[in-house]
Structure 1
Amino acid sequence: MIKLKDKLQKNEFVITAEVESPKGPDFGDELNRIKKLYGYVDAVNICDNPMANLKMSPIALSHIIHEQLGIDTIFHLTCRDRSLLGLQSELLGAWALGITNILTLTGDDPKKGDNPTSTGVFDCDSVGLARIANSLNNGYDISGNKLNAKTAFLIGGVLNPFDSDAEIEKMKRKIDAGVTFFQTQPVYDVDAYKRFIDRVGNLNVKIIMGIMPLKSYKMAINFNEKVPGINIPEHIIKRLAEDPSCGIKIAIEIAKKAKDFADGVHIMPLGRLNAVVQIAEELGRGGKRFEL
């Protein structure tokens, strides 16, 4: 397996994709779906109780995918469910299991999820979590106590590429904390994204552009009205109004335009892994038959 970290260091264009975790201990169906991505992606993202809804541990599922499918993983870790002590313990366990790529997140309010009586911890935010992972990489816990060995996590952060000055300052804080790659929110205006990349090109960090194929005209309108930081141009909304099934085609066009200057694309398929395959094939990737 060629690791995501190695490809980024070699300035190769990478493809990552978000996959779903099971709500329960049986992972067989999800594993059968994920193995179809073998050869098409450089890593899959495993969310950490997304939208504060209960799912299998991202570290456990990442280990299963890594061991049984040979696909690299990026596990999400949020500050919502664990104390500072727990976050460090989880990271050390992940490293021991061979899970080396982390996406640091603050996490959603548990009151909005399917276990609303759960208590959010939030001992730190995503910047603090990146700092914790970086401290472990240097061989120390967050209190300065020496570990018996260093970790070497590839530390990632999330990024909204259209919040201009405020987002760039937050981005710099994350880099100072140890983040070396970012995955962005979905991008629909490639020209605006290119202008953002030009502004931050001197920060020496990898940025993987988010792509989310739209399912309908209604979804596009909802995103524009209710999701901060996402701007879907009028010409895309018009196309969806005329042809609600063209979302994947639009995503492919966006990905192809970005390939000339982006470090990679991160596909959020909303459960439609066939969309990942279609986009990857249009970017020149050929899948491989998975064999045990």
Structure 2
Amino acid sequence: MNLREKLAAKKFVVTVELDPPKTLNLDKILREINSANFRKVVDAVNVTDCPLAKLRMSPIALSHIIQEKIGLESIFHITCRDRNLLGLQAELLGASALGVKNILALTGDPPEMGDYTKATGVYDLDSVGLVKMVNKLNNGYEYKGEELKSRTDFFIGVAVNPSAQDLKKEIKRFEEKVSAGANFVQTQPIYDIEILERFLEFTAHLNIPKIIGIMPLKSYKMIEYLNNNLPEIFIPSVVKERMIGKDIGEGIKISQEFIDKIRKFKEVAGIHIFPLRDMDLVCRLLN
């Protein structure tokens, strides 16, 4: 069964975030995700698109290589930051021809965040417009409405942040993405069960699979970094207190306890793990 079929069958899935390298050598990445323990617990890997606007290998190319060489399903990220209307459609048609069918449609981090501050952010579309574009291609039409000779078959994912300070605005955007044709959603990391419950309650009318983000904490210093740089990822005080003077072992325990709780919600379709380039962490977490 592929990812689409597993979610349709209500199988609890596990997806893992993977950052492409800034090199042509893929030996380490392919070795890590091809280990028996990793393959046993992971259903698909998300391949990011120059995250934080920093140079990385093409997610479409790496997704294709992973599927061809490893046989592990991929979800490639594509952002509106680096490509105009023409470039986005060209990339999507190429991905479809390569057999890379799972997509996460994102607006993209602004260039000034990354290594190329003078790069131009295109943003002909935002994530909602990108979902509409992909949905049009799936129905056999290019973005401007002209009919194509064939149609794509993308399984369209989107992102949402249940910890957003303006949750009403965040859910309204989520509703727009679903209306535009999104098939599943992966959330930003959550550490508070009450936030999850509130999110599931407010999005009960959006009947697409909801895959919940899990990012194990590695230290208290990591909490400070998240507070300073990603303030919309909320970490409750009880979790902060548990991590004082502790290392990744405690962070894994906290995440395991949280996973045990969220598996009890029938609305939750699976988990999406952010291992921060530590693929061994995935196996430790799900052991």
Same fold (TM over 0.5): yes
Give TM class, smaller chain.
over 0.9
Secondary structure at 1:102's aligned position in 2?
strand
Instruction: Summarize the alignment of residues 1-292 of structure 1 with structure 2, pairs less than 5 Å apart.
Output: 2-36=1-35, 37-163=38-164, 164-245=167-248, 246-261=250-265, 262-281=268-287
Distance 1:199 1:120 in 2: 33
**Could you tell me which amino acid in structure 1 is paired with residue 77 of structure 2?**
H
Secondary structure at 1:119's aligned position in 2?
coil
Secondary structure at 1:203's aligned position in 2?
coil
User: How far does residue 56 in structure 1 lie from its aligned partner after superposition?
Assistant: 0.6
Percent identical among aligned pairs is 47
Distance 2:286 2:68 in 1: 23
- 1:72-120 superposed Cα distances (whole Å, 9 cap, x missing partner): 0000000111111110110111011110000011111212212223221
**Could you tell me which amino acid in structure 1 is paired with residue 107 of structure 2?**
T
Do 2:19 and 2:51's aligned partners in 1 also have CA atoms closer than 8 Å?
A: no
Do 1:161 and 1:185's aligned partners in 2 also have CA atoms closer than 8 Å?
A: yes
Distance 2:216 2:100 in 1: 28
**Could you tell me which amino acid in structure 2 is paired with residue 217 of structure 1?**
Y
Secondary structure at 2:240's aligned position in 1?
helix
Structure 2 unmatched ranges of 5 or more = none
- 1:199-254 superposed Cα distances (whole Å, 9 cap, x missing partner): 21121111100000111112113323442321111111111004233111111111
Over aligned residue pairs, what C-alpha RMSD do you find? 1.3
User: How far does residue 191 in structure 1 lie from its aligned partner after superposition?
Assistant: 2.4
**Could you tell me which amino acid in structure 2 is paired with residue 265 of structure 1?**
I
Matched positions, count = 280
Distance 1:167 1:59 in 2: 28
- 1:147-202 superposed Cα distances (whole Å, 9 cap, x missing partner): 11111111111101133211111110011111111111100001220221022112
Distance 2:225 2:100 in 1: 36
**Could you tell me which amino acid in structure 2 is paired with residue 254 of structure 1?**
F
**Could you tell me which amino acid in structure 1 is paired with residue 21 of structure 2?**
P
Structure 1 unmatched ranges of 5 or more = 282-292
Distance 1:111 1:195 in 2: 34
